Amino acid sequence: MPEYADAKPHYRINDTKNIHLLAERQSSTFNVEDFAQFMFGGSDNPFDINTRRQLSFVEVHFFFEYNLSFCLARLAIAHPIHQTHLPFEYLTADEHYSLCIRKSFAAIDAVNRLNITNRKHRGWFYDIFVNYYFSFYIHTSMCIYAIENLASEEQKHTLLPLAESFQIIASYAQTELGHGTDIRRLETEAIFDKTTDSFILNTPTLTATKFWPGSMGRTVNHVLLMAQLYTPDRNHACGIQMFLVQIRDLKTHQPLPGVEVGEISTRFAHILGDNGYLRLTNVRIPRTQMFMKLAHVDSNGHFTRRGDARLLYGTMVHERLRLINTTLMALIRAMAIAVRYSAVRFQGLNPSGKETQILDYPLQQEKLIPSLSTTYAFLIAFIKLDRYFFQLKTNDDDYFRELPQLHALSCGFKGYTLSISERIAQICRVACGGHGFLVASGLVTSRNGIDGGCSAEGDNVVLLQQTARYLLKVMQQVEENNGGDLHASVAYLNLPLWSPTTTSLILDDYCRLFESRSQLLVKEMYGKMLESTSSSPYDAFIQNSIELVHMAKAHMETFIIRTFYDQVQNACQHVSIALVLEQLFYVYAIHTLRNTSTDFVRLKLLSADQIYELETRILPDLYVQLRPNLVTLVDAFDFHDFELDSCLGRYDGQVYEALMERARLNPSNRHKVPPIWASVKQGTLSKL
């Protein structure tokens, strides 16, 4: 086990006040801290639990009048600004927006005073401080990254200090009212004017209006604008390029001439925030405001390409991974809330006359245990994918060689996992009954955030089609060249099909089962595409798109289950950890298998009777085995109550006390008699 003595968890078991939750923690078969370190420890782990907890212990004269040794996460939570407002659900949209801006600037000030220089650590501090409502998230997570990777060295020298000091605050303006994922069809124009050495920007049609960019409605003063470049004149199209465009005055925050900008209709209430629209009318920017690492326009309007355009994929993959990370954080918050509440809540009398803990009901376990196993499967696979991306970034040759696989995996992973995560978040909401419908449950916010992510940075189904195209190309390579040197994630396409060696299935059998199923589906679809009588490959792809997306999902399930298997093997030196991971693995494999049982039966990999046996005998037995560890499995995520922001998911288990306290804060309760009823009773209510 790695050393983690100085990185203390947010809570200890003695912090538990609810006796039933305490009993759950005492019944666990593994050490929760050992498990957390095994799963989430290490600086190369995207969840790096020790740094999230602590970053470092520092002696600071900070929010208090004397020096205290605090971990930085606790400093974020302890800031007095958090005591100045009602819970978010009791604020108006404008109050909430203003509060998030104030908190975001307070977080930036705290980061500077604490001298947190690591960008990932700064991002975590911002998230914790503003409870995942950081107003400049797009700027810090995407726009600065784009400047670093798409601007020329000269441009970076000028722009990065301004962006990192928040003098420039930018949004990423790609999506238009009429076009989103298909960037080739964007209508916003940038026409070069040689006489003034500038670009003239216009949104020439209604559907060219930039629509949806985060933080653009009221917050940012610049945008990274994706537009069609025309140079040296309107008759010469040069494709999509990125431009840095100032849209607001830096002193007054007023929109600049030619700029119409505002907030669009809110989505899922104001808490998910400042999405905007933007129209440009003859807005001029200097030629040097086009990012020029991969393309260049000189003062005569001559356009040349530079570098490798495939670097653009790196920016998209980076943002896609950050979106997945954010979504998984929302998912594990939802799981922690639902499982803890299910351990506290009692409902229904048993034969002895006592109420039953709802976590003991098989139907509640059927909701939560497959959801929890799936959550762990996604986390394990994402950790591998994130490490893979950052390892490739250190070597250009490796990066370009692996880019097709990286692109296909990131597309497929986002498309597949967010669709499932959306359903799991809803399951968690329903599993908590009526209380789960309250904003105070914390579940509504998590569910809505995941729901929005399903169409952000590419619609899930569109992204899965990208994975499908990759698989067809690989299968062509297999058929024409007997496989050759295949990427690791698709090496199974060149393996013999699985055949059972015993009547019972063990760990690797499930991996080979899913690999064989995916292999057969890919071969089947490849042959179908070759035999298609459609007039073009495009028509053939569209006509078969439903099955192609299904094929892509099968490939992602194969990737996830093989990665899960590898993690179980990695735990072999830690018996108690390996055992619980193995149980989670089996639940995920059988649950996923039964949801797609038609494939396994049709392809003659399993019989209907075998699947029925797995579903009705093996799976319920696994629920019984996992039952003592459910609470500690979500405790391993180690969220502070401030991060969960949930009355139902509190570590101490004082659910009902928290619900009453939250309800009493509702501003509508300040009147014992609501004013409208005073008018009714006094007979002064207007008949109009």
- Which of 130-144, 261-275, 317-331, 591-605 comes out lowest in average pLDDT? 261-275
Kindly report, residue by residue over 119-175, the tens digit of the pLDDT: 888 998 898 899 888 999 999 989 999 999 999 999 999 999 999 999 999 999 999
Tokens read off for 31:
């050490």
Are residue 251 and residue 102 in the same domain, yes or no? no
What is the share, in percent, of the chain residues with pLDDT greater than 70?
A: 94
Phi, psi (degrees; rounded to nearest 5) at 266: -65, 155
This prediction's pTM: 0.93
Q: Reduce the DSSP state of residue 492 to 3 states and report it.
A: helix
CATH number of the domain to which 126 belongs: 1.10.540
Whether residue 232 has a cis bond before it, omega within 30° of 0: yes
The C-alpha atoms of residue 601 and residue 610 are separated, in whole angstroms, by 10
Q: In degrees, to the nearest 5, what angle opens at C-alpha 574 toward C-alphas 570 and 575?
A: 110
Do 56 and 171 lie in a common domain?
A: no
Q: Flag whether 650 is in a domain.
A: no
Does 131 share its domain with 158? Answer: no
Note the pLDDT of residue 72.
61
HEC per residue, 171-229: EEECCECCCCCCHHHCCCEEEEECCCCEEEEECCCHHHCEECCCCCCCCCCEEEEEEEE
Query: Is the pLDDT confidence value at 61 over 70?
Result: no
481 band by pLDDT with thresholds 50, 70 and 90: confident
> Does residue 478 surpass a pLDDT of 70?
yes
Give just the sign of the alpha carbon dihedral 491, 496, 497, 498: negative
Does residue 461 surpass a pLDDT of 90? yes
Give the whole-angstrom CA distance, residue 614 versus residue 621: 10
Inter-residue contact 416 to 595 (CB < 8 Å): no
677's CB contacts (< 8 A; 6+ apart) are: none
Q: Which amino acid is at 251?
A: K
Q: CA triplet 117, 640, 31: central angle to 5 degrees?
A: 105
Long-range Cβ pairs for the range 163-170 (8 Å, 24+): 163/139, 166/108, 166/136, 166/139, 167/250, 168/221, 168/222, 168/244, 169/136, 169/139, 169/215, 169/219, 169/220, 169/221, 169/222, 170/138, 170/139, 170/143, 170/220, 170/221, 170/222, 170/223, 170/224, 170/244
Q: Which of these three, 83, 112, 135, is where a domain ends?
A: 135
CATH number of the structural domain spanning residue 180: 2.40.110.10
Confidence class for position 314, pLDDT limits 50, 70, 90: confident
Are the CB atoms for 343 and 337 separated by under 8 Å?
A: no
Residue at a domain's end among 135, 170, 198:
135
- Predicted pLDDT at 269: 44
| Mean pLDDT value across residues 88-105 | 91
Same domain for 179 and 276? yes
**Are the C-beta atoms of 110 and 83 separated by less than 8 Å?**
no
In contact, 243 and 225? CB cutoff 8 Å:
yes
Residue 222 pLDDT > 70: yes
Residue % of the chain over a pLDDT of 90: 74
| Same structural domain, 149 and 131 | no
Could you tell me which residues are annotated as the binding site?
175, 214
Segment 631-654 mean pLDDT: 96
479 in active site: no
Report whether pLDDT(614) > 90: yes
- Tens of pLDDT, residue by residue over 236-284, are 999 999 999 999 999 999 999 999 999 997 655 445 568 999 999 999 9
Shared-domain flag, residues 293 and 170: yes
Residues 239 and 166 in one domain: yes
Q: Has residue 16 been placed in a domain?
A: no
Domain range for 180 = 145-307
pLDDT at 54: 66
Which residues define the annotated binding site for FAD? 175, 214
On whether both 185 and 62 belong to a single domain, the answer is no
The pair phi, psi for residue 339, each rounded to 5°, is: -70, -45
pLDDT, tens digit, 9 for 90 and up, residues 67-84 = 333 456 677 888 899 999
The lowest-confidence range among 402-416, 528-542, 611-625 is: 528-542
What integer pLDDT is reported at residue 484 of this predicted model? 72
Is residue 3 predicted with pLDDT exceeding 50?
Answer: no
Mean per-residue pLDDT over the chain, rounded: 91
Number of domains in the chain: 2
Instruction: Work out the average pLDDT over 570-598.
Output: 97
Check residue 521 and give its pLDDT. Answer: 98
Question: What is the predicted pLDDT for the residue at 271?
Answer: 56
Domain membership flag for residue 186: yes
pLDDT of residue 273: 66
10 Å Cβ neighbour count for 296?
16
In this model, does residue 92 exceed pLDDT 90?
no
Indicate which residue of 24, 33, 189, 457 is catalytic.
457
